[in-house]
Amino acid sequence: MNCIFCKIASKEIQSRIVYENERAMAFYDINPQSPIHILIIPKKHYENLFEVVDKEDSDAILDCIKRVVETLGIKHYRLVSNAGKGAGQEVFHLHLHFLAGKVFSAKTV
């Protein structure tokens, strides 16, 4: 499968990794939409949250979120997951956008 995030997970493609555990990793988005923009992915390929994610993988994702918050001393953040083309998903490997480093003016939800 020609999936860029699988290649990032296997280190075939380089990324700026913030934290990783056995099943998930956090790395900086190449095209940041806020001063801190990190992507959190499971290393296993899932298209998005429409798929049933193994508990070990969802736990690993939650661990990444916590460790990013601790490591970077984050005070507040926003998490976004685009699931499906209609939501703007462009890379079809499950990922959470972790956005921080500013006061968010507009609330979308």
Contact 103, 82 (CB under 8 A): no
Q: How many angstroms separate the CA atoms of 27 and 31, rounded?
A: 12
- Looking at 54-62, 69-77, 85-93, 99-107, which segment touches ligand AMP (CB under 6 A)? 85-93
Contact 24, 61 (CB under 8 A): yes
- Looking at 29-37, 53-61, 66-74, 99-107, which segment touches ligand AMP (CB under 6 A)? 29-37
Say which of 37, 76, 95, 97 is annotated catalytic: 95
Contact 25, 43 (CB under 8 A): yes
Residue 45 site contact among Zn ion, ligand AMP, none (CB < 5 to 8 Å, cut-off depends on kind): Zn ion
Residues 56-75: x where in contact with Zn ion by CB under 5 A, - otherwise, as a string: --------------------
Phi and psi torsions of 56, nearest 5°: -60, -35
Least separation, in Å, of the C-beta of 54 and ligand AMP?
Answer: 21
